[in-house]
Structure 1
Amino acid sequence: MTDLVDAPADPVLAVALRGGVVERRHRGAYAVCAAGGEIVDSAGDVERRILPRSAIKLFQTLPLVESGAADACRLDARRLALACASHEGSAAHSGQVAQWLAEIGLGERDLMCGAHPPKEKAARDALRAAGEKPSQLHNNCSGKHAGFLTLARRLGAPTAGYVAVDHPVQKAAQEAFSQAADEETPMGWAVDGCSAPNFAVRLRGLALAAARVADPQAGFGCGLRAASAARLRDAMIAHPFEVAGAGRACTELMEAAAGRAAIKTGAEGSFIAILPAGDGRPALGVALKIDDGATEAAECAMAALLVRFGAVDPADPRVRRRLAPAYRNLRGVDVGGLRAAGPLDTKS
């Protein structure tokens, strides 16, 4: 277990400043790949396996589309985006999941993601005013789990226990992700916050998987997987609100990208970006991991990478909020902020 503390240090990717003094340093690693597997930019240990958490929801959703379940249940692009989401639990999000489940003859009780309060304040206030408790519909992963249940029905598999790693739904998810990331199976895994398996992957492999979705024909060929990956990518790009919610980084950065990127965060400082080709830009996949798991630092580093590869304008206020968030004290005085650093320093 010595590697837990003796691993080589990754470079500093973001720093918190106060009055020009560094108060906090966030180390991490990133890889940027083309669909053929070539690394076009990287820093830190990109061969170390990480748990990408919710950053891989698109890949967990691939079998829903490939199996024909999405078309059989007439899932539109909005619901496909919701299946790839870590949503706010707003009425718009939870209501869509409730309707989806009802249409396949299931309900909130069939979910296995667990309940937590909605992240959106308006939804929390509405529950409090009504004297109601949060339900599993408010779980940020409820869309993904609705997709799991839909796939289970399509496969003729039990809906009970669909989060078990040996359930046909999770076997399909592992196969899709391992092939995209060029990882051998069985993959290492751990139980995620929503109780589904989360599969360990090299950062380089995660970037490759994202790149293959950015250019599905080059990454997967001309078959069903390529078409399914493109469909999920385009659904996320077309419906950024469903993927996260108002004010969230994924939603605002995709809105700022205006079709140039599908972006998905995960817990503990993980992030991916899928950058389709266009306007002279090559198709690329980006994978990022901040070692200490700081969300703010991950958002800052990802914004810097999106700027570097032409997906967003650094002057866009939605980008600036992540690229250079300001810190203000209780009197509203600007006392510092977070900045990209080291290999991501925009001034270097």
Structure 2
Amino acid sequence: MTAARLIELWRGGLHESTHLGHVVICDTEGVVEAWGNPGTVIFPRSSCKMIQALPLIESGAADAAGLGDEQLALACASHNGGRIHTGRVERWLAELGLEEEDLRCGAHMPRDPEEHRRLLCSDSRPCQIHNNCSGKHAGFLTLKRHMKAGPEYVEIDHPVQRAVRRAFEEVTGETAAGWGIDGCSAPNFACTVEGLARAMASFAQPGLGRRGAAQRRLVEAMIAHPELVAGEGRACTELMRAMKGRAAVKTGAEAVFVGIVPGRGLGIALKIADGGTRGAEAAIAALMVHLGLLEDSDPVVQKYLTGPIRNWRGFETGEMRRARGFPG
């Protein structure tokens, strides 16, 4: 099976562009709906941070360090690097007796407009805490300290990453198809789109025992703190707010998006073939409408899918549409 037509762009009444991709909706029994090829192998990128955070809780490290929902949400986050994010990561590291230099994620300018402006106007350089993955890495450091393991926690053979790989393979139900290095220097394990959706379904309908408790805590933390998972103006934050606790969603680089719908026991995974974030955000919004979690008229759906495209002068120039047959 090839990639399916998911999202189209129209201008002047003519079809201009198409985003192709793969989408799978699973429950704990298997595939419920799919578009494209469920067996397509992808890197989940940051969409799987809740999987990477499982050993943090299951090992007892989170409880030993006294982590609460805010820290767990940040462990799942690709945040904007605003003070709401960096201040919390700074305190987290300080409580561990660690410093910014202990991180291995690298530094980049934050997406948060206020913090971006502050750094520029003060001629200051960003630090690793500004990295959108600093919460995930603070979680890795917490687990590393609990394990009494070495400092290079992003190495593929480090106990932290061995624990992450085990959890990843267990919840996806697949042996990792390979691995690559993510933007934050941590390993990212490959799986099929179906495997990623299966993993999200396990978060949506967690079982008993340590694994289920960890999954439940992570989903609850994301839903309780959408502003920490991404930030103002971001699709993850805005979609979760609009759904008022009915679902958690998380993006990843190269146009991956996942969804967790606890009330329905559904997990969603999608990958836009061209790597375009615009297509992924439109597709996840369409799926939330398809599942009855949002209405077409909701402002957040209008922003990412159904509203008009306007130019710099405010003129309406086009629109995005669901491709025929997607979703439903």
TM range (shorter): over 0.9
Counterpart of 2:10, as a letter, is L
Partner of 1:5: none
Displacement of 1:120 after TM fit?
Answer: 1.0
Choose which of 66, 76, 82 in structure 2 pairs with 1:84.
Answer: 76
Choose which of 129, 134, 152 in structure 1 pairs with 2:126.
Answer: 134
The answer to whether the 8 A contact 2:296-2:306 is kept is: no
Q: How many residues align?
A: 328
Partner of 1:230: 216
The answer to whether the 8 A contact 2:100-2:128 is kept is: yes
Task: Give me the CA root mean square deviation.
Answer: 1.2
Counterpart of 1:116, as a letter, is H
Partner of 1:101: 93
The TM-score normalised by the length of structure 2 is 0.97
Partner of 1:214: 204
Distance 2:296 2:139 in 1: 35
Distance 2:308 2:231 in 1: 22
Distance 1:35 1:319 in 2: 28
Distance 1:115 1:207 in 2: 31
Distance 1:146 1:266 in 2: 19
Counterpart of 1:56, as a letter, is C
The answer to whether the 8 A contact 2:108-2:127 is kept is: yes
Choose which of 3, 7, 19 in structure 2 pairs with 1:26.
Answer: 19
Taking every aligned residue pair, what percent have the same amino acid on both sides? 50
SS for the counterpart of 2:325 is helix
Displacement of 1:87 after TM fit?
Answer: 0.2
Distance 2:90 2:299 in 1: 34
Choose which of 201, 209, 227 in structure 2 pairs with 1:241.
Answer: 227
Map 1:158-237 → 2, pairs under 5 A: 158=150, 160-184=151-175, 187-217=177-207, 222-237=208-223
The TM-score normalised by the length of structure 1 is 0.92
Distance 1:119 1:170 in 2: 28
Distance 1:306 1:325 in 2: 16
Counterpart of 1:177, as a letter, is F
The answer to whether the 8 A contact 1:275-1:311 is kept is: no
Distance 1:240 1:126 in 2: 24
Partner of 2:147: 155
Partner of 1:17: 10
- Per-residue CA deviation, residues 52-106 of structure 1 (Å, 9 max, x unaligned), is 1000000000100111111111111011001100000001101111110011011
Is structure 2 residue 267 aligned with structure 1 residue 275?
no
Partner of 1:308: 290
Gaps of 5+ in 1: 1-7
Displacement of 1:22 after TM fit?
Answer: 1.4
- Per-residue CA deviation, residues 256-312 of structure 1 (Å, 9 max, x unaligned), is 1111101000011101000012xxxx2100000000011011010111111111222
Distance 2:171 2:312 in 1: 47
Gaps of 5+ in 2: none
Q: Which moved more, 1:247-256 or 1:313-322?
A: 313-322
Is structure 2 residue 307 aligned with structure 1 residue 317?
no
Counterpart of 2:187, as a letter, is P
